[in-house]
Amino acid sequence: MNQPLKVAVIGAGGWGYQHARAYSSRKDTVLCSITGRTEERTRKRAEEFGVPYYLNISQMIEEQKPDFISICMPGQQTFAPTMEVIQAGIPLLAEKPLAYDRKEAETLIAEAEKRNLFFAIDFNHRYSTPAIMAKEDIEKGRLGELIFASWRFGHGSGALDHPYLNLIEAQCHGFDLLEYLCGPIQSVMAQMTDKSGKNSYSTFSIALAFQNGGVGTFLGTFDSSEFYPLSQYVELNGTKGRIWMEDSVEKYSFQGVDSRRAEVWNSAFFHDEERSFNQNLDRHLDALIPALLRGEQPPVPAKRGLRALELAYAAIESFETGKRVEVPFQGE
């Protein structure tokens, strides 16, 4: 295509703003509309970007005829709008989580596959500079064989409206990133607590076994603070070295097993985009839009959202039964 892709954003919330910002700033895309659920907020958001607004997806598709749609709806309300876009046959990017219900997620994937539709999900932790560097070092063989991996992600929250909201909505990033870097998770065993009084299991820990023989630890909490140092980190320890990532975009280091010195990357003073979590989306789009234009598969297919949900429900089963649960991996 010689013309920029016409992109419509469904969702007028905070992360919907980031999608609108990203598409409106690219040379290969043009933002054509904002669709939301409430008129005042949707109208204001559309006015910010100088585009029409809609409260009806079908009307937006009929009038705008977008080439691509980004869906940024609350996780428990994403099934119907996502299905509507799929049934319209329009390539799409969905925010995480893909769904809260496994059957709904499976249905979305099946309907997209019937149409051979480009269907991506925004697991944007993959596109932090530290994660990109980690993937490169792993593919070069610098880590060696994985021995253990650790994920920790915690901050505060208000009232929660689902007993496993943190596990499904926030920590799906961890499931995806660990499998992206370390390979499939073979089994899980979970402990959870609801002692915070939020009527939800807002903090949990999971023991992981990877298919390649490594093990892992996974801690997710909504009972902490984003102001604490190292509110999020990833550690990968291999036979040849150690990878360390801090707060998604802040720091990366690699250290060989026999070296007293580590190679360290820090975001640069004059490069604000390197310190911005929001820019992970832009880096994802740098890979996604060219793939779409070339007729290739998404760099992060929506099936990864189904896989994260499978891992979450395996953890729930483990917690409820007190047993380790196997999580077969069916591939991409």
For residues 59-86, give the mean pLDDT: 96
Q: Is the overall model pTM greater than 0.85, yes or no? A: yes
What DSSP string runs through 204-243?
EEEEEEETTS-EEEEEEESSS-TTSTTSEEEEEEESSEEE
pLDDT at 35 exceeding the cut of 80? yes
Q: Could you tell me the strand order of the sheet in which 53-54 lies?
A: 53-54, 29-35, 5-10, 68-71, 92-94, 119-121
pLDDT digits over 281-302, tens only? 999 999 999 999 999 999 999 9
Give all domains of the chain, ordered by start, each with its CATH number.
Answer: 5-117 (3.40.50.720), 125-276+309-326 (3.30.360.10)
For residues 50-61, give the mean pLDDT: 98
**Would you report the helix, strand and coil content of the chain in percent, each value rounded to 5?**
40, 25, 35
Alpha-carbon gap, residue 10 to 84, rounded angstroms: 11
Q: How confident is the model at residue 275, as a pLDDT? A: 85
Alpha-carbon gap, residue 126 to 132, rounded angstroms: 7
| Coil, helix or strand at residue 280 | helix
Q: How confident is the model at residue 1, as a pLDDT? A: 56
Average pLDDT over the chain, rounded to an integer = 96
Give the per-residue SS3 of 106-149. Answer: HHHHHHHHHCCCCEEECCHHHHCHHHHHHHHHHHCCCCCCEEEE
Alpha-carbon gap, residue 58 to 176, rounded angstroms: 32
pLDDT digits over 312-322, tens only? 999 999 999 99
For residues 206-233, give the mean pLDDT: 96
pLDDT-derived band at 332, boundaries 50, 70, 90: low
Q: How confident is the model at residue 146, as a pLDDT? A: 98
